[in-house]
């Protein structure tokens, strides 16, 4: 088995991981200094959110130079030293490539604004509709809110599926293709082991940019068949390197069948299965999502890829801290309902611990978002004036967006910045809650009941119990219990309100919470050793 088929990948949101120079913003030096922490956690690889020069219209997903390092994060030399250090510790390094759009400060867009010959062809400029051309060229909305079109001084419109500072590239243009293939090689040559592909389903738009109309599940800007040819080209580049270089797709598509198309043998290696993080804490739904994800990945011989949390969605503890929806969450994370129901973080944390054991027992690869291993909750009460996510402004101040899962990590101590920055530094770029000392790395380090300790134990046991254990064989089929056997081990999860009996003569190797012999309490998971063959 190749490393990427079973890896546990830790997502580093670099802005909020560790700040070395005291400006309140995470940086490469801070990340480098905490590499021993990551190695001790027992992960196989890190994926780092964009670290390229950026005006930060969208926290680095607006890239102005794909071959550089954001000055507030460090230098190219530091990045190279980081890659070398990670490799010395046995960790692979995955970067984030943002091919759907550039920053509006990128030299290409600046040339387009000046209307230099041919420069606008690299983006999606169109004339407006209406008598004076003052209506957007089509009905597409930005993911962050408002129209997906903005107008430049001479009256032309350009497409931005995200913020106005993130103009969409025209992937029909040969220079766009050549440029990104070259960027891949630039970083592969520096030893980078792979790329997470941002908005991998967005690059190619339907011919003529037609209106979306009332379509609910499909969108002319997403998941167009033409995108696959791009990834065949990328795969050919990756395959020229040894050791192997890999891709992970961020592709929000309507079904596992559509997702599998990105994973055909001459395209990408893995793709996030987002239904797993959209699923409520209900055994039935989780079982259905798991079966579906495995079947989809298997149909093309790819490893399923489990993700419970990332920098775009409310933290797992908080998603599980209230009554659970009946089915997969569609959008907005039910924040309007959340406003009416008090969060019970202890409950959410028990469930998140149990779900971590479920995630790490499944076949394939798993992603852990920084702070998940500390059991951090979403910060839901940020003051409006500190919010940074463009969603807040673009939604007309109706959607608070994603800042609450991007708060700087607590490392030690009882007051902000909790060791995130050195003492006496500038305030952190987003404020940390007052009670986060209890969740710091230092507070959990030697506590055997801590979330951190659970992750360390699970990651240490995972290679022996699960990595080579083969297919999932379901053991029970009730709305509250989820149980499966893989190889010699079993994983049991109780999402209901009453305890369930565990099979006799099995011993619990690891449990997500306290339990009496032979029973699994509500909101708890356990890994069991299978009976000896007789």
Residue number, 162 or 466, with CB nearest to ligand GLC: 162
Using CB under 6 A as the binding rule, whether residue 98 contacts ligand GLC is answered as yes
The secondary structure element, H or E, covering residue 189 is helix 174-189
Contact in structure between 281 and 355 (CB atoms under 8 Å): yes
Q: What is the DSSP string of 13-35?
A: -GGGT--SSSSSS--HHHHHHTH
Q: Are 311 and 368 in contact, with CB atoms under 8 Å apart? A: no
The Cβ-side half-sphere exposure at 216, using a 13 Å CA radius, reads 2
| Secondary structure letter of residue 54 according to DSSP | -
Give SS3 for 470. Answer: coil
By CB under 5 A, how many residues form the interface with Ca ion? Answer: 5
312: partner contacted, choices Ca ion, ligand GLC, none (Cβ within 5-8 A by kind): ligand GLC
Among residues 198, 267, 334, 389, which one is catalytic? Answer: 198
Give catalytic status of residue 198 as yes or no. Answer: yes
Q: What residues from 105 to 134 belong to the interface with Ca ion (CB under 5 A)?
A: none
Q: What is the size of the binding site for ligand GLC (CB under 6 A)?
A: 9
- What does 199 interact with, of ligand GLC, Ca ion, none (CB < 5 to 8 A by kind)? ligand GLC
Instruction: Tell me how far the alpha carbon of residue 410 is from its chain's centroid.
Output: 20
Binding string, residues 20-39; x marks residues near Ca ion by CB under 5 A: -x-x-x-x------------
Binding ligand GLC (rule: CB under 6 A), the pick from 19, 78, 198, 373 is 198
Considering the complex, what minimum distance in angstroms separates the CB of residue 264 from ligand GLC? Answer: 23
- CB 311 to ligand GLC: min, Å: 6
> Binding of ligand GLC at residue 312 (CB under 6 A)?
yes
State the Cα–Cα distance between residues 515 and 499, nearest whole angstrom: 9
Report which residue's Cβ sits closest to ligand GLC. 61
Active site residue 332: no
- b/e per residue 148-158 (b: at least 16 CB within 10 A): bbbebeeebbb
The item of Ca ion, ligand GLC, none sharing an interface with residue 349, based on CB under 5 to 8 Å by kind, is none
| 29 vs 488, beta carbon nearer Ca ion | 29
Pairing of strands 500-501, 519-520: antiparallel
The pair of three-digit structure tokens given for residue 271, joined into one six-digit string: 């793709």
The one catalytic residue in 250, 378, 399, 523 is 250
Distance (Å, whole) CA 297 – CA 279: 18
Task: Kindly state the smallest distance separating residue 278's Cβ from ligand GLC, in Å.
Answer: 14
98 binds, among Ca ion, ligand GLC, none (CB under 5 to 8 A by kind): ligand GLC
- Decide whether 19 or 44 has the Cβ nearer to Ca ion: 19
E strand map for 287-417: 305-307, 365-369
What is the rounded CA–CA span in Å between residue 474 and residue 465? 17
Name the nearest CA neighbour of 62 among 26, 98, 27: 98
Rounded to a whole number of angstroms, the minimum distance from the CB of residue 530 to ligand GLC is 39
CB of 344 to ligand GLC, least distance (A): 28
Active site (catalytic) residues: 198, 250
The residues of the shown chain that bind ligand GLC, judged by CB under 6 A, are: 58, 61, 98, 162, 198-199, 250, 311-312
């Amino acid at each position: 088995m190749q490393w990427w088929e079973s890896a546990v990948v830790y997502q580093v949101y670099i802005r909020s991981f560790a700040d070395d120079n005291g400006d309140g913003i995470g940086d490469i030096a801070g990340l480098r200094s905490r590499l021993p922490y990551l190695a001790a956690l027992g992960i196989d690889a890190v994926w780092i959110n964009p670290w390229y020069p950026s005006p930060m219209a969208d926290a680095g997903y607006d890239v102005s130079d794909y071959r550089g390092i954001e000055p507030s994060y460090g230098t190219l030399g530091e990045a190279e030293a980081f890659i070398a250090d990670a490799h010395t510790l046995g960790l692979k390094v995955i970067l984030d490539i943002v091919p759907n759009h550039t920053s509006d400060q990128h030299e290409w867009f600046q040339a387009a604004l000046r209307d230099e010959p041919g420069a606008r062809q690299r983006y999606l400029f169109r004339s407006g509709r209406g008598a004076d051309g003052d209506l957007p060229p089509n009905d597409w909305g930005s993911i962050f809110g408002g129209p997906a079109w903005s107008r430049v001084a001479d009256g032309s419109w350009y497409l931005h599926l995200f913020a106005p500072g993130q103009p969409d590239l025209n992937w029909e243009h040969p220079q766009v293709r050549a440029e990104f293939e070259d960027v891949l090689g630039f970083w592969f040559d520096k030893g980078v082991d792979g790329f997470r592909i941002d908005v991998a389903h967005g690059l190619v738009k339907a011919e003529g940019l037609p209106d979306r109309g009332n379509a609910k599940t499909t969108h002319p800007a997403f998941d167009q068949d033409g995108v696959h040819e791009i990834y065949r080209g990328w795969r050919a580049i990756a395959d020229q390197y040894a050791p192997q270089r890999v891709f992970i797709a961020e592709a929000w598509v309507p079904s596992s069948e559509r997702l599998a198309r990105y994973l055909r043998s001459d395209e990408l290696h893995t793709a996030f299965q987002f239904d797993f993080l959209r699923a409520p804490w209900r055994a039935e739904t989780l079982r259905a999502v798991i079966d579906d994800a495995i079947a989809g990945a298997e149909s093309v011989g790819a490893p399923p890829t489990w993700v419970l949390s990332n920098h775009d969605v409310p933290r797992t503890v908080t998603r599980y801290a209230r009554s659970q929806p009946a089915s997969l969450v569609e959008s907005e994370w039910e924040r309007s309902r959340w406003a009416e129901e008090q969060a019970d973080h202890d409950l959410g944390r028990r469930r998140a611990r149990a779900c971590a054991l479920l995630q790490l027992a499944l076949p394939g690869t798993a992603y852990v978002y920084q702070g998940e291993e500390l059991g951090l909750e979403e910060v839901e009460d940020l003051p409006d004036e500190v919010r940074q996510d463009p969603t807040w402004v673009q939604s007309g101040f109706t959607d608070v967006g994603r800042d609450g899962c991007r708060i700087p990590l607590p490392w030690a101590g009882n007051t902000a910045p909790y060791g995130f920055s050195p003492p006496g530094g500038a305030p952190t770029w987003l404020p940390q809650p007052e009670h986060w000392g209890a969740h710091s790395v230092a507070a959990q380090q030697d506590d055997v009941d801590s979330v951190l300790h659970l992750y360390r134990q699970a990651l240490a046991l995972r290679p022996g119990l699960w990595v080579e254990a083969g297919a999932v064989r379901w053991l029970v089929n009730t709305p509250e219990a989820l149980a499966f056997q893989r190889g010699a081990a079993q994983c049991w999860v109780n999402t209901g309100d009453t305890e369930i009996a565990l099979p006799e003569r099995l011993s619990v190797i690891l449990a997500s919470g306290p339990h009496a012999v032979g029973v699994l309490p509500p909101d708890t998971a356990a890994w069991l050793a299978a009976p000896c063959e007789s």
